A and B are shown apart, each in its own frame.
Chain A
């Protein structure tokens, strides 16, 4: 019996979420197979990276030109054939956008339900996941023979490395699904760390105003922090939606989250409240963010941010 992990990767590098998925899988106590689906140019290096993740017992590698686009239909159908020919008890990946695209599609192909975005494995068939923007937890039992799961990567620390590489096995690719065509893909090359992986994240709300953004970026550079925003900032088109933090954006759990001019709507808090330490700066002493912040400063972001830059 084994657990199959659908590897996630960007530009030839395995994402940290894949290593978090391995950590989650280790609690099942079965073999761990990592499935690499990638273009021929990077499939081999990705397989090597996966083979050295602690706990991985086998790497399955599918290499084909069309897999470069990582479209959900292709990944789901390919995974389905792998699940059919092996003896798997679980299949999982992280609950980022890619996991959200692929896993429910795969579940429907297999005619089964799944548990998404789980943060805790309680028993071999029982999982805990947040609902209502994280204000409640629901415990779900899944009875399917092969259990499909997506994990919230920030709830599982990434697995380390092992000295001995797991064997790599090539799997024949299926023909591409041509129904959906990728016309354009945004590739931002930011010098800043990824929001979901940064140790320190700075978030700002509409209250800080456009003129303050350069200063916030300066502070982020000093701290090697990622920058996130609230929905209002996205709606005002001051930042694009990949920087949105909250129930409908990215859910993060960094060591330090600094909320600047953010009042703390439930939807925003859903995305940041698992941060280890929360700092809030807000003019309004009654802002709800202060109820969950470890450290607060009641003051104007325009004064506090330059002072912080000065002191660091």
Chain B
């Protein structure tokens, strides 16, 4: 069984993003790019399944501009067997990304997709569910645990009230929560080995998918910041303020 793990390159979530003074885009000075932490978890979960002999191969894929290659190289250093770079020269909507990933999953004959539940930053939370729908596969969304036995997949999926334990049959797509598996770290020798690997690339256009988008970003805005309030000496002063100023209690 071959597992596909889509990888997104994102701004390190511990960095605070800012707009350029003219609001034309993000100020990328001093920003560090990393593998989307959710995808990092998905990759670790896929590697675990391979170590348990449930899967035979782990393939990572990224769709985007040239700098994705660096993130894909990192996925090899972390333990992925193969990788594929789908070269696209512009920003794509979640549906276009899902179309490209569908084409890759079919071309590569994958029967399990592990994908981070959302890309940190854009926080859209769409691609996984869209990809499952396009493939006509069942979806195990927001999985906190995952067990695969034979062709059966079972996952504990987060819901508004708690969780659902869901079960289905492969092929299937699992969208992954942080915590499903501990992220892997790339050792220095593996990083060196990955550096020498050639990253196979294909142009998005050759996958024969519709690249048309229905959604466009028209503007970026900064959020008004909350001001700093007052420091109070003790609990009594706090209760007093809450009662007289806010009237909440």
Contacts and interface: CB of A to CB of B under 8 A. Distances in A.
Given A108-B133, A187-B161, A279-B238, A290 B231 contact: yes
B163 A186 contact: yes
Interface string A104-137: 1111110111111100000000101011111111
A296 B230 contact: yes
A116 B125 contact: yes
A247 interface: yes
Q: How large is the interface on B (under 10, 10 to 19, 20 to 34, 35 or more residues)?
A: 35 or more
B2 interface: no
Contacts of A200: 248-249
Nearest to A126: B218
B28 interface: no
Interface in A92-107: 96-98, 100-101, 104-107
B235 A304 contact: yes
B239 A308 contact: yes
B164 interface: yes
Contact of B134 (A108, A138, A310): A108
Interface in A54-105: 72-73, 76, 96-98, 100-101, 104-105
B16 interface: yes
Contact of B141 (A8, A100, A273): A100
B168 interface: yes
Interface of B is mostly: mixed
Nearest to A224: B249
B95 A113 contact: yes
Given A98-B159, A104-B129, A181-B168, A131 B121 contact: yes
Contact of B16 (A107, A223, A266, A304): A266
A133 B234 CA distance: 32
B162 A137 contact: no
B231 A135 contact: no
B107 interface: no
B169 interface: yes
Given A113-B213, A113-B214, A132-B123, A242 B248 contact: no
Contacts of A181: 166-168
A179 interface: yes
B158 A97 contact: yes
Interface string B94-138: 110010000000000000000000101111111111111110001
B163 A144 contact: no
B215 A113 contact: yes
B160 interface: yes
Given A113-B95, A116-B125, A179-B169, A242 B238 contact: no
Q: How large is the interface on A (under 10, 10 to 19, 20 to 34, 35 or more residues)?
A: 35 or more
Contacts of B158: 97, 241-242
Contacts of B141: 72, 97, 100-101
Nearest to A111: B95
A139 B229 contact: no
Contacts of A311: 235-236, 239
Question: Considering residues B120, B162, B225, which has the most beta carbons from chain A within 10 angstroms of its beta carbon?
Answer: B162
Question: Considering residues A140, A196, A200, A298, which has the most beta carbons from chain B within 10 angstroms of its beta carbon?
Answer: A140
Given A114-B215, A143-B215, A241-B158, A266 B129 contact: no
A256 B249 contact: yes
B188 interface: no
A100 B221 CA distance: 24
Given A136-B220, A136-B223, A141-B218, A235 B179 contact: yes
A144 B166 contact: no
Given A76-B133, A179-B138, A182-B164, A312 B239 contact: yes
A295 B229 contact: yes
Interface of B: 11, 13-14, 16-17, 19, 26, 93-95, 98, 118, 120-134, 138-142, 144, 154, 158-169, 177-179, 213-223, 225-226, 228-236, 238-239, 241-242, 246, 248-249
20 contacts: A100-B125, A105-B130, A112-B214, A113-B95, A115-B215, A131-B122, A132-B123, A136-B221, A180-B138, A180-B168, A181-B167, A184-B165, A185-B161, A185-B163, A200-B248, A266-B14, A277-B246, A294-B230, A296-B231, A312-B249
Q: 6 tightest CB-CB pairs across the interface, nearest first?
A: A186-B162, A108-B133, A307-B235, A104-B129, A294-B229, A184-B165
Interface of A: 8, 10, 72-73, 76, 96-98, 100-101, 104-109, 111-117, 126, 128, 130-144, 179-188, 196, 199-200, 223, 231, 234-235, 240-242, 247-248, 255-256, 266-267, 273, 276-279, 285, 290-299, 304, 307-308, 310-312
Given A136-B222, A277-B248, 8 more contacts: A107-B95, A108-B134, A136-B26, A140-B216, A143-B215, A180-B140, A185-B159, A256-B246
